[in-house]
């Protein structure tokens, strides 16, 4: 029997899960009503629609709905943060009925970082036994998160602008024409990772174009090579002293797994939806 509506409310997409008391998924739905599409719209009315569809259930929301540009800002909880800390800091829109899970912040003194939505996935991955309580987790994407767990809680994390930078370079830079092709996990990608490990990302990127001009590399291989340079620079900066659990689809996750292996580590891909459901269920139970 349905007990909870859990919503992973991201920047561009939204995914709804209807969960029973054991955290089993009775129904799920994904649409493009992310935070950006919701600007100027009524979150409460959206929840009425969802409750009309799935039943008059309690709702737990994670992600960008809790950002300053979302429904209501749910203040960041600082590291270390686990299931108990997040449950304690829920931002209640209606007590016990509609709540927003806070994001998590990190401050090493030298560098500050924030996440919103990813915290439920990484905590859930440990809950579901997909990652060790002291794991290193990787969530590739526009802004790739690397999360160090300690005793099942988020101890520290780093966000890298890897995906966004690749998209910017592809769309609107001197490399645009050169890196227009498809990225595949082949030799060109691996060469990019190897070159990235030597450091000097700013120069390596210009070398993508120069390599084509001088006939060292075909233009069709350049997207994969450039992706290798960026993902390689991202991975090479991480401590790979323990296995990495990669929460991603097989394609992007596979590129990261390859780069991690080339940098001397080991990575295994795990399903981010399963991780989210385990995390939100654990938070719900801890309330």
The neighbour count for residue 12, using CB atoms within 10 Å, is 12
What is the closest distance, in whole angstroms, from the C-beta atom of residue 117 to its own copies in the complex?
Answer: 15
Among 200, 220, 249, 251, binds its own copies (CB under 8 A): 200
180 makes contact with its own copies (CB under 8 A): no
Among 3, 105, 184, 274, binds its own copies (CB under 8 A): 105
Q: What are phi and psi of 268, to 5 degrees?
A: -130, 145
| Span from 42-50, 179-187, 210-218, 246-254 in contact with its own copies (CB under 8 A) | 210-218
Query: Which residue, among 16, 69, 7, has the nearest Cα to 38 in the 3D structure?
Result: 69
Among 48, 92, 206, 218, binds its own copies (CB under 8 A): 206
| Span from 84-92, 205-213, 220-228, 276-284 in contact with its own copies (CB under 8 A) | 205-213
13 makes contact with its own copies (CB under 8 A): no
207 makes contact with its own copies (CB under 8 A): yes
Phi-psi region of 90 (alpha: psi -120 to 50; beta: other; left: phi over 0): beta
Show the site string, 55-94: x = touches its own copies by CB under 8 A, - = not.
Answer: ---------------------x------------------
Among 7, 35, 128, 169, binds its own copies (CB under 8 A): 169
Phi-psi region of 180 (alpha: psi -120 to 50; beta: other; left: phi over 0): alpha
| Span from 46-54, 156-164, 182-190, 260-268 in contact with its own copies (CB under 8 A) | 156-164
| Span from 22-30, 52-60, 103-111, 271-279 in contact with its own copies (CB under 8 A) | 103-111
Among 21, 24, 49, 174, binds its own copies (CB under 8 A): 174
184 makes contact with its own copies (CB under 8 A): no
Q: Which is nearer to its own copies, 47 or 196 (CB)?
A: 196
270 makes contact with its own copies (CB under 8 A): no
Count of residues in contact with its own copies, rule CB under 8 A: 44
The neighbour count for residue 198, using CB atoms within 10 Å, is 11
Spatial distance between the Cα atoms of 210 and 217, rounded to a whole number of angstroms: 9
113 makes contact with its own copies (CB under 8 A): yes
Spatial distance between the Cα atoms of 107 and 29, rounded to a whole number of angstroms: 35
Residues that bind its own copies (CB under 8 A): 76, 105, 107, 110-114, 143-144, 158-162, 164-165, 168-169, 171-174, 195, 198-207, 209-211, 213-214, 216, 230, 233-234, 237
């Amino acid at each position: 029997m349905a007990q909870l509506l859990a919503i992973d409310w991201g920047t561009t997409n939204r995914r709804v899960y209807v969960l029973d008391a054991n955290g089993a998924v009775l129904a799920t739905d994904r649409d493009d009503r992310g935070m950006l599409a919701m600007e100027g719209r009524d979150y409460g009315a959206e929840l009425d629609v969802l409750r009309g569809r799935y039943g008059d259930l309690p709702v737990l929301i994670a992600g960008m709905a809790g950002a300053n540009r979302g429904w209501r800002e749910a203040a960041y909880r600082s590291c270390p943060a686990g299931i108990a800390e997040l449950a304690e800091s829920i931002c209640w829109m209606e007590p016990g009925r509609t709540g927003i899970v806070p994001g998590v912040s990190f401050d090493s003194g030298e560098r500050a970082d924030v996440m919103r939505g990813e915290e439920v996935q990484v905590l859930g991955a440990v809950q579901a036994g997909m990652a060790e309580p002291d794991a290193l987790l990787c969530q590739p994407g526009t802004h790739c998160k690397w999360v160090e767990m300690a005793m099942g809680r988020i101890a520290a994390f780093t966000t890298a602008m890897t995906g966004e930078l690749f998209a910017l370079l592809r769309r609107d830079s001197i490399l645009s024409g050169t890196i227009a092709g498809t990225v595949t996990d082949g030799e060109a990608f691996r060469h990019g990772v190897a070159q990235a490990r030597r450091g000097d990302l700013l120069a390596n990127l210009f070398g993508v174009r120069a390599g084509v001009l001088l006939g060292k590399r075909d233009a069709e291989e350049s997207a994969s090579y450039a992706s290798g340079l960026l993902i390689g620079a991202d991975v090479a900066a991480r401590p790979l002293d323990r296995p990495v659990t990669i929460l991603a689809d097989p394609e992007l996750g596979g590129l990261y797994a390859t780069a991690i292996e080339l940098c001397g580590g080991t990575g295994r891909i795990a399903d981010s939806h399963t991780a989210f459901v385990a995390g939100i269920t654990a938070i719900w139970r801890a309330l």
